[in-house]
Amino acid sequence: MYTSDLPGHGDADRDLNADFSMEALVEYVRRFVQALGINRVHLVGSSMGGGVVSFYAASYPHEVASVWLIGAAVTREFLTDSEHIKRYDATGTFPYLIQNHAEHARKLDMVFGKLAKMPHCLKFAFAQAAIRDYAIQGAILKQVRKTIPIDQVYSNLSTPALIVTGDNDLVVPPSSVHTLAKVFPQSTFQVIERAGHIPMVERPRRCAHDYLQFRTKIEA
């Protein structure tokens, strides 16, 4: 399995003038896949990454064997109808745009279904990183916000999909899995109990088990 940091994330460059549109992010990941010499790929994406993976499969269906979408922020439930986006459009504030430690604490409460115990030093380091990235995250959100919900562009895509949400996801409404299932009708969706926006962190064994079962099913 290979992973790639999207522009502006992880160890990637922080270029405020970079192209962070959904189309550009799809092409970034595609170039990464091509550089590895992979002709047909299984893709996994969470939150915004789930959007990138969804549009990758829609744009290049013959190159994508399957997708695993976790809390994918790509349908109308998030991109047009969510209270987070409406508040961002009205005020410019968003839970992922962090300017101080108090805001980061509120973000953790929102992202986790049940906040796991975490050493203070780790919380502090995560908060400092988020504060450092305030400008770049703002630049990314400004461009990604322009994405047309995938359900308004595509339907009945043939790519097999495992669609996952936490039942306590306060970022992307869990109801979005039903919309995504119409975009990817060859899909299985799982609602992870007692989980928030990142169930693969909160319930890793359950998520891994579900994914292995999904891969076994589509490769049978």
DSSP string, the chain: ----PPTTSTTS---TTS--SHHHHHHHHHHHHHHTT-SSEEEEEETHHHHHHHHHHHH-GGGEEEEEEES---SHHHHTT-HHHHHHHHHS--TT---SHHHHHHHHHHH-SSPPP--HHHHHHHHHHHHHTHHHHHHHHHHHTTPPPGGGT--S--S-EEEEEETT-SSS-TTHHHHHHHHSSSEEEEEETT--S-HHHHSHHHHHHHHHHHHHHHH-
**Would you state the pLDDT for residue 76?**
97
pLDDT at 2 over 90: no
pLDDT at 18 over 90: yes
Task: Please say whether the beta carbons of 172 and 77 come within 8 A.
Answer: yes
66/43 Cα distance (integer angstroms): 6
**Would you state the pLDDT for residue 54?**
98
Once rounded to an integer, what is the mean pLDDT over residues 151-177? 96
At 44-76, the pLDDT tens digits run 999 999 999 999 999 999 999 999 999 999 999
Output the CA–CA distances (angstroms, integers) from residue 72 to 35, 167, 172, 197, in the order listed.
25, 14, 7, 9
**Would you state the pLDDT for residue 184?**
98
Residue 117 — pLDDT band, cuts 50, 70, 90? confident
Task: Domain 22-219: give its CATH code.
Answer: 3.40.50.1820
At 169-180, the pLDDT tens digits run 999 999 999 999
Cα–Cα nearest to 88, from 131, 151, 152, 143: 143
Domain limits, the chain: 22-219
Q: How far is CA 101 from the centre of its chain?
A: 23
At 69-110, the pLDDT tens digits run 999 999 999 999 999 999 999 999 999 999 999 999 999 999
Q: What is the rounded average pLDDT for all residues in the chain?
A: 94
Q: For the whole model, what pTM was predicted?
A: 0.94
**Would you state the pLDDT for residue 138?**
96
At 195-208, the pLDDT tens digits run 999 999 999 999 99
Q: What's the one-letter identity of residue 213? A: Q
Task: Please say whether the beta carbons of 46 and 74 come within 8 A.
Answer: no
State the residue for tokens 């009945």. 156
